[in-house]
Chain A
């Protein structure tokens, strides 16, 4: 009886979370997959179409562009976030004055709603009446920059603003990771005459691997799912060049009323995220530490 109780007990403890996950995660996910096999406008009768919605995606230029844009955006933004947050974390773990104040300042963007972040930067970078262009034109005599209406500049802008808004959050995680590294490693390295960069590459970076993996996985998932900030900043423009997967899914489902296609896109996005996460785990060997 005791063995049975020991077997059941962990599952009982998990039961409340399992119920919540089932209702709000697993069931909607399965339902989404079911919808992806149908034509449905969200209101009227569903028509079963098998995998048609998936095969159509290959020829859907909007989906292909959104998919490629999302991959490019993720491939640049995630490393940018990691590098910036790591640089900030390294800076703030050194003995500098007012490090607490700087930490609060760098963390501050993460506390603002992403809609507000998008709108604020849109105000600053507005092409016609933006503050930045006003300064460039009025005080520096430069031509106004098409921050959000030139396809390349718009991509740069969303990468920059996304990095700005998220780096502070991951900085805090990396500070925690750096502080958990024993000082004795650094003391020994200094006695041996190791430079800052040698200490960084041979002690800090390897011992940060578990935290780095966490940061990379979390930031990848967050960046791939970017929506409100970009919607508020560029609206997906110019001409759809910053319309990424989540916005495309939303528009397909709720603007074009093609819930089946939108669900198929969501399933594809889920698979992509799962693959990216698995690759990151493998590359980081599950986050194991190995100081060299």
Chain B
């Protein structure tokens, strides 16, 4: 009888132990080789690598990355260049879709397997998990960068700005020419909101396009309008909410009127249509987009001519700076090597290759005016709009602890206003309450 019992118990226990051990097993280490670069060579000359040091231990740098288009190819080419100088370092690129970036990175951190480096847009959620680059690099490293994206928080350098983005207007030149409408050619011709709106109406009436404008469904993009109206989310000292103002009211009501009059398709802000695809279809006169969209349109649009022009103005001119960072993660075990790579990647000559490959804007000192192969004049317009923006947009969006809390409500509440289920005044009061509450939580008052 004992034998029968044990003959049942032993296999059952073995199954249980096996199941438990299998679930707790650490996955095998990922392959350590970097995928070789397969696309064409970079347009700019590559720097000569220094002599390799063969005495150092092997290091694997895992990099969590997302692509706007295919920047990973140019990044991988540069890692190959880095490996010529540092053969002991290998790279593994973990590519994730942009909308999954924060979730995947959070899961890696919670799971105790943080990557060495991540390409980030928003540092706020990971502020306590990022390496202070000053721990490994000389403080003068921070001087490599111009003003723009904020990267020093409480005296810690949490990331290196990799490329800067600005908001801008990409227009369907074919449709504008068919309608006999011209866009501003220089800073003296900047259009007002009314002129901008008139242009939309004329192009829709006199060309083949159905809509005057598509506007990315993000708070960041919409904020350009309220900064132009003279509004802001916070007071200049970033201590109090500033949502409930006549200027903010004007910006929201202008945006709503554009929708109500059918100049903007409701399907972007009230549905799930992709503005990028709508513009590429040739049915829209303008796309209010981020500068990184240029690279996409250079690659994707063949059916019509397009161009880039100045943002409109209301009370003032304004764009909103944004961009991407390279940050090192705590707990990867290779923090110093990660910091060294970020330092290397931020050298002007290396940064130049990456920026030109992908038609980005650089924040690295010395790379202010690069020789772009396509649309150099577009980048001058971006720079002009950014220069006219003042410091408030950059300060507010650099206050990521705050914007992270308000972002979703700002966007979704605006959609409710557009749908007519929330009044503009109620929307502003709601944002005012949320902002005040967020500031109290942040400042602990």
Contacts and interface: CB of A to CB of B under 8 A. Distances in A.
Interface string B392-415: 000000000000110010001001
Task: Give the 8 A-B CB pairs with smallest separation, nearest first.
Answer: A235-B272, A238-B270, A239-B419, A149-B266, A149-B270, A239-B416, A127-B267, A239-B415
Given A2-B1, A239-B416, A43 B110 contact: yes
Interface in B1-34: 1-2, 4-5, 8-9, 12, 15-16, 19-20, 23
Nearest to B109: A43
Contacts of B272: 122, 148, 232-235, 237
B125 A240 contact: no
A179 interface: no
B278 A23 contact: no
Interface stretch (A102-110, A197-205, A248-256): A248-256
A151 interface: yes
B349 interface: no
B125 A257 contact: yes
Interface stretch (A8-16, A73-81, A210-218): A8-16
Given A129-B278, A151-B421, 14 more contacts: A12-B8, A41-B125, A43-B126, A43-B128, A43-B129, A127-B273, A149-B267, A149-B271, A233-B272, A235-B271, A239-B419, A239-B421, A254-B102, A255-B408
A127 B265 contact: yes
Contacts of B19: 16, 19-20
B222 to A, nearest CB: 15
A128 B265 contact: yes
Contacts of A149: 266-267, 270-271, 419
B267 A148 contact: yes
A205 B20 CA distance: 46
B418 interface: yes
Interface in A5-55: 5, 8-9, 12, 15-16, 19-20, 23, 41-44
Chain B interface size, as a band, is: 35 or more
A219 B200 CA distance: 48
Interface in A210-232: 232
Interface string A117-151: 00000100011110000000000000000101101
B350 to A, nearest CB: 31
B72 interface: no
A44 to B, nearest CB: 6
B126 A234 contact: no
Contacts of A237: 269-272, 415
B296 interface: no
B106 interface: yes
A76 B231 CA distance: 44
Q: Which of A16, A44, A128, A240 has the most CB of B within 10 A?
A: A128
Nearest to A235: B272
A283 interface: no
